[in-house]
């Protein structure tokens, strides 16, 4: 395998912000607008009353200042997933009745609409088309029989979600979804990365019709024992970050093809981890990075930067550990002018959101220098 050069940039901790008590059952963070000079991030948490709470944060371009800028509340939930569809914020939650409920919000956190599906757990969400008319996205979950269910939804210009179609697969205990980007011959495609009935990582490629009414499974592949699966995608490149059977961090890169096949490209590993999340970003030179935000074996937040070559080859670039202990859940988000775009803007500010040792929501901003 050819040697590829890794840049020498490293992650530097910038600003920190805190909010109130949160439950360990749900935590997500997303970015909605680019940073220039101030951007906005949104956290969705299960607060100490068990309710869904969205908090908007203003984030400085250098990550040094993170300032709360409003919040909104909804009914009790036990699981949360979140994303952006053309500047509508969409939360997919497990509501008090145990159902999958999709709720849309404006950038100012005004509730726009909602729709419900069946009883669900292990909920995930992703967009799979970045064009108007219609705005489509997918959800994935574990149904009452323990099987994977994927569903397509549309979102109107007013932010009203509507169910379009669905499909099923075999037994799963974890579910993560990621879109396959435009410009790659993979239009209307998305990937589910699941922990299957054997406890192994399984990737399934799905193809949807233009209106989302039909979803077909067109290919799959498996790897070894996996848990705490995090999924990132960029065009036809797939990156899975997980806790392997030995309890260590493992990252695998893959390439999706239009005929449904998925090729394994490279594998990298690090030390013991208890929880895993990941985000893609670029540095000022245009180099692409996968940042894994993990709760390591000592229960500290640890960020590890991996440079990702266009070939899918991974090279560890740097790592940093925060002093916060007793983390429950960690998520990360990156800024771009167009969330989910094939070419995000450089000079990324990474945001980690976590439940700290005092059970408070804590946000930390990071830059790559």
CATH number at residue 248: 2.130.10.10
Distance CA 241, CA 221 (A): 16
- pLDDT (mean) for 234-257: 96
Range of the domain at 303: 13-368
In a domain, 4, yes or no: no
Structural domains in the chain (count) = 1
Q: Averaged over 112-131, what is the pLDDT?
A: 89
* pLDDT tens, residue by residue, 251-261: 999 999 999 99
Q: Does the pLDDT of residue 311 top 90, yes or no?
A: yes
Position 32 in a domain: yes
Q: What digits encode the pLDDT tens for the residues 124-138?
A: 999 876 554 468 899
pLDDT for res 37: 59
Flag whether 2 is in a domain. Answer: no
Q: At residue 171, does pLDDT exceed 70? A: yes
Percentage above 90 pLDDT, the chain:
61
Output DSSP code: residue 357.
T
- Does residue 5 lie within any of the structural domains? no
- Tens digit of pLDDT for each residue in 174-231? 999 999 975 666 778 999 999 999 999 999 999 999 889 999 999 999 999 999 999 9
Q: Is residue 119 part of a domain?
A: yes
3-state class (DSSP) for residue 272: strand
Query: Is-cis flag, bond preceding 218, omega within 30?
Result: no
Is 60 within the bounds of a domain? Answer: yes
Look at residue 345 and give its three-state secondary structure. coil
Measure the CA–CA gap between 320 and 297, rounded to whole angstroms: 14
Using CB atoms within 10 Å of the CB of residue 300, give its burial: 0 to 12 exposed, 13 to 18 middle, 19+ buried.
Answer: middle
pLDDT band, very low/low/confident/very high, at 25 (cuts 50, 70, 90): low
Q: Identify the three-state secondary structure at position 342.
A: coil
Q: Are residues 141 and 100 in contact, defined by beta-carbon separation less than 8 angstroms?
A: yes
Q: What is the mean pLDDT of residues 313-317?
A: 96
Q: Can you give the pLDDT at residue 206? A: 96
- pLDDT attached to residue 10: 85
Contact 77, 112 (CB under 8 A): no
Beginning with the edge strand found earlier in the chain, give each strand of the sheet holding 330-334 in spatial order: 111-119, 99-105, 88-95, 66-85, 51-60, 38-47, 11-33, 360-368, 349-355, 330-334
The b/e string for 209-230 (b: 16+ C-beta within 10 A; e otherwise) is eeebeebebbbbbebeebbbbb
Tokens of 232: 């990132």
Separation CA 160–CA 42 (nearest Å): 20
Q: Is 156 within the bounds of a domain?
A: yes
Tell me which of 33 and 52 has the higher pLDDT.
Answer: 52
Tokens for 125? 């969400």
Cα maximum dimension of the chain:
54
197 in any annotated domain: yes
pLDDT at 26: 74
Q: Looking at the DSSP assignment, which residues form a beta bridge with residue 140?
A: 124, 150
Residues 6+ positions from 22 with CB-CB distance below 8 Å: 45, 46, 47, 48, 53, 355, 359, 360, 361
Mean pLDDT is lowest, of 50-59, 204-213, 358-367, for 358-367
Mean pLDDT of the chain: 87
Give the DSSP per-residue string, 8-51. ---EEEEEEEEEEEEEEEEEEEEEEE--SSEEEEEEEEEETTSE
């Amino acid at each position: 395998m050819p040697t590829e050069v890794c840049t020498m940039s490293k992650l530097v901790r910038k600003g920190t912000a805190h909010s109130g008590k949160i439950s360990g059952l749900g935590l997500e963070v997303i970015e909605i607008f680019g940073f220039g000079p101030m951007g906005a991030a949104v956290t969705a948490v299960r607060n100490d009353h068990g309710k869904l709470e969205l908090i908007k944060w203003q984030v400085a371009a250098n990550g040094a200042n993170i300032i709360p800028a409003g919040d909104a509340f909804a009914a009790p939930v036990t699981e949360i997933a979140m994303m952006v569809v053309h500047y509508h914020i969409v939360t997919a939650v497990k509501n008090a009745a145990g159902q999958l409920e999709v709720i849309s919000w404006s950038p100012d956190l005004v509730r726009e609409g909602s729709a419900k599906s069946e009883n669900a757990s292990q909920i995930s969400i992703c967009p799979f088309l970045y064009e108007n008319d219609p705005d489509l996205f997918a959800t994935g979950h574990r149904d009452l029989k323990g099987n994977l269910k994927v569903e397509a939804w549309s979102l109107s210009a007013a932010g009203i979600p509507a169910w379009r179609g669905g499909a099923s697969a075999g037994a799963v205990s974890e579910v993560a979804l990621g879109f396959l980007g435009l410009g790659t011959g993979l239009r209307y495609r998305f990937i589910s990365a699941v922990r299957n009935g054997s406890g192994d990582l399984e990737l399934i490629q799905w193809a949807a019709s233009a209106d989302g009414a039909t979803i077909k499974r067109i290919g799959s592949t498996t790897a070894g024992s996996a848990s705490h699966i995090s999924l990132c995608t960029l065009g036809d490149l797939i990156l899975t970050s997980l806790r392997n059977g030995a309890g260590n961090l493992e990252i695998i890169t893959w390439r999706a093809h239009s005929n449904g096949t998925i090729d394994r490209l490279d594998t990298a590993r690090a030390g013991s981890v208890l929880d895993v999340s990941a985000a893609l970003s670029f540095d000022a030179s245009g180099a692409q990075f996968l940042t894994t935000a993990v709760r390591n074996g000592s229960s500290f937040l640890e960020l590890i930067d991996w440079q990702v070559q266009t070939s899918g080859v991974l090279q560890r670039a740097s790592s940093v550990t925060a002093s916060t202990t007793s983390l429950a859940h960690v998520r990360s988000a990156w800024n771009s002018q167009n969330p989910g775009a094939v070419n995000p803007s450089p000079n990324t500010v990474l945001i980690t959101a976590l439940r700290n040792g005092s059970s408070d929501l804590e946000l930390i901003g990071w830059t790559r220098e």
